[in-house]
Amino acid sequence: MKNVEFRTAASAQGGLVVMAGVPGVAAGSRVQLRDHAGRLRSGQVIRTADDAVLVEVFEGTDALDLERTWVRFLDEPFKLPLSRDILGRVFNGSGRPADGRPPIITADRRDINGEPLNPAARAYPREFIQTGMSAIDGMNSLTRGQKLPIFSGGGLPHNRVAAQIVRQAKLLGEEAADFVVVFAAFGASHADARFFQESFEESGVLNKVVMFLNLADEPVIERLLTPRAALTAAEYLAFDLDYHVLVVMTDMTAYAEALREVAVLRGDVPARKGYPGYLYSDLAEIYERAGRIKNRRGSITLIPVLSMPSDDITHPIPDLTGYITEGQIVLGRELANQGVYPPVTVLPSLSRLMKDGIGKNFTREDHPHVASQLFASYAKALEVRGLAAIIGAEELSDADRRALAFADAFERRFIGQGEDEDRSIHETLNLAWELLSMLPPETLIRVSEAELAKYHKGKA
């Protein structure tokens, strides 16, 4: 069947083509269209019956002349050619070379949809990754194999934060040799793509990076393939070649919007804000490919970046993402406006896997309690700040004034740090104690009395 061209396109509309009279086409099969100008477009079968086959065309259906369109059913799903040579390469959104270099020559081609990992085969992520950023390491620690998104908004420095994580991420006491990056951009601007490329270049990791780029002016439907192609490459690097892979994907909002566009064309029943009811399952198919597998050395750690429309964390995209990922790093406009970098709003931020990757044997024995105390003290101090805004700082008690001073110092010195500042976890924890020492020891009930005696610098 794959060598036969059919010229039976019966209708076309907004990226979808209906083919008549092609019996026995496999669901999900890849399709190649040749238009009247001889240009090739690719597509995928999304519904199939003997009398009609519905094809989704990734490059769109613009300027398609039904009578002069030839269609071939390739009889296989979308596959990505894989070999060690993908390192250092740049591909387009559907996995074809985009750096002017030759295609990957290999017999190993894999279905980009992957297969679900058996939950019984997973290994639980427990190894602490040091990012060198206090707000993350100290309070929202990342572990190897975790999926931890960055929730951001337009104009916030999420790209700089992501790039800094890529530059600085390391496991305590281990060589960085088997560490590689898969970077996927969909709907990103050329400027953003260049920023990442230059940042990889500067830090000298370019030959350890695989890039998949579907930029803002490239076909929208192709974005449905990009994260899947990137993760297929990541799975190969992690579980065939034993690399520890850090996957950065930006921007998931552009992906979800592409999905909605296609869903509307297909006539799927919308759930919230026009997004299809299967947005959750679809996002999960992507995010859940991160992780570790028993008896395999490699791992996939996933950092998706998404911009929250109107900074709304309850919007379906961040909302559903938060239900699937193992926490979230939330960037805030308020901190950013005050010049704090990275503007991590720590209270809504969370790392679910932190509890199992820190403390004795991992970071330092006081880490869990210190993190918990920082959260509690900062939350309380913010309440005081709210109060001070109403009744004026003069009316505050002495204890409240100390809390205010703590909140300010915490934001400027603990959360805030330089873009090239790479703090060790010990530096982060010592800094935390220095700040906690601004508060009376009897108010610090999340840390143990022994820890207070050892680390608190105030008069006990």
Partner 1 sequence: MGKILEINGPLVKLELPRTVLGEQVRVGRMGLVGEVIGRDGDTALAQLYEDTAGLRPGEMADGLGWPLSVELGPGLLGGIFDGVQRPLQAMRERSGDRIARGVAVPSLPRDTRWHFVPDPQRRAGAVLAGGDVLGTVQETESIRHRILTPPLLHGELLELAPEGDHTVEDVIGRVRLADGRIEKLYLFHRWPVRTPRPFRQRDHAVAPLITGQRILDTFYPLLKGGKAAIPGPFGAGKTMLQQQIARWCNAEIVIYVGCGERGNELTDVLESLPELKDPYTGRPLMERTLLVANTSNMPVVAREASIYVGITLAEYFRDQGYDVVMVADSTSRWAEALREVSGRLGQMPVEEGYPAYLGSRLAAFYERAGRVETLAGDHGSVTLIGAVSPPGGDFSEPVTSHTKEIIQTFWALSKELADARHYPAVDWLESFSGYVKSAAKWWTEHVDPNWESARADALDLLAASEELQRIVNLVGVEALSGEQRWTLEAAGLIKEGLLQQAATDEVDSYASPEKQFALLAALLEIHRQGLTLVKLGAPARKLIQMPLLAQARRWKSQHGSEDLSALKAKIAAIPQAFEPLLLEYASTATPRTMGGA
Instruction: Determine if 308 is a binding residue for partner 1 (CB under 8 A).
Output: no
C-alpha 85, offset from chain centre:
24
Instruction: Determine if 314 is a binding residue for partner 1 (CB under 8 A).
Output: yes
Enter the DSSP assignment of 433: H
C-alpha 42, offset from chain centre:
26
Q: Which of 63, 105, 107, 120 binds partner 1 (CB under 8 A)?
A: 120
Q: Which of 72, 109, 122, 413 binds partner 1 (CB under 8 A)?
A: 122
Between 20 and 191, CB nearer to partner 1: 20
Instruction: Determine if 132 is a binding residue for partner 1 (CB under 8 A).
Output: no
Closest distance to partner 1 from the beta carbon of 375 (Å):
4
Between 150 and 320, CB nearer to partner 1: 320
Give the 3-state secondary structure of residue 143: strand
Instruction: Determine if 365 is a binding residue for partner 1 (CB under 8 A).
Output: no
Q: Which of 327, 332, 342, 416 binds partner 1 (CB under 8 A)?
A: 327
CA trace torsion 204, 207, 211, 215 (10° rounding):
50
Instruction: Give the residue from 316, 279, 343 showing the smallest Cα distance to 150.
Output: 343
Which residues ranging from 389 to 418 are in contact with partner 1 (CB under 8 A)? 390-391, 395, 397
136, 344 Cβ separation under 8 angstroms: yes
Instruction: Determine if 337 is a binding residue for partner 1 (CB under 8 A).
Output: no
Cα angle 371, 444, 404 (rounded to 5 degrees) comes to: 85
Distance CA 395, CA 405 (A): 15
Between 154 and 277, CB nearer to partner 1: 277
Distance CA 168, CA 417 (A): 13
Instruction: Determine if 280 is a binding residue for partner 1 (CB under 8 A).
Output: yes
Sole window of 158-166, 225-233, 244-252, 262-270 interacting with partner 1 (rule: CB under 8 A): 262-270
Instruction: Determine if 123 is a binding residue for partner 1 (CB under 8 A).
Output: yes
Instruction: Count the Cβ atoms, other than its own, within 10 Å of residue 133.
Output: 26
Instruction: Count the Cβ atoms, other than its own, within 10 Å of residue 426.
Output: 13
Instruction: Determine if 442 is a binding residue for partner 1 (CB under 8 A).
Output: yes
Distance CA 388, CA 305 (A): 35
Sole window of 56-64, 83-91, 318-326, 411-419 interacting with partner 1 (rule: CB under 8 A): 318-326
Burial status of residue 437 (CB atoms within 10 A of its CB: 0-12, 13-18, 19 or more)? middle
58, 225 Cβ separation under 8 angstroms: yes
Distance CA 42, CA 56 (A): 9
Q: Is the dihedral of CA 409, 411, 414, 416 positive or negative?
A: negative
Instruction: Determine if 67 is a binding residue for partner 1 (CB under 8 A).
Output: no
Closest distance to partner 1 from the beta carbon of 399 (Å):
10
Sole window of 61-69, 123-131, 217-225, 254-262 interacting with partner 1 (rule: CB under 8 A): 123-131
At residue 337, φ and ψ (nearest 5 deg) are -65, -30
Q: Which of 28, 60, 97, 309 binds partner 1 (CB under 8 A)?
A: 28
Identify the residue whose tokens are 């620690």: 141
Sole window of 97-105, 270-278, 336-344, 424-432 interacting with partner 1 (rule: CB under 8 A): 270-278
Which residues ranging from 152 to 211 are in contact with partner 1 (CB under 8 A)? none
Q: Which of 271, 404, 405, 409 binds partner 1 (CB under 8 A)?
A: 271
The site for partner 1, by CB under 8 A, has a size of 82
Closest distance to partner 1 from the beta carbon of 396 (Å):
8
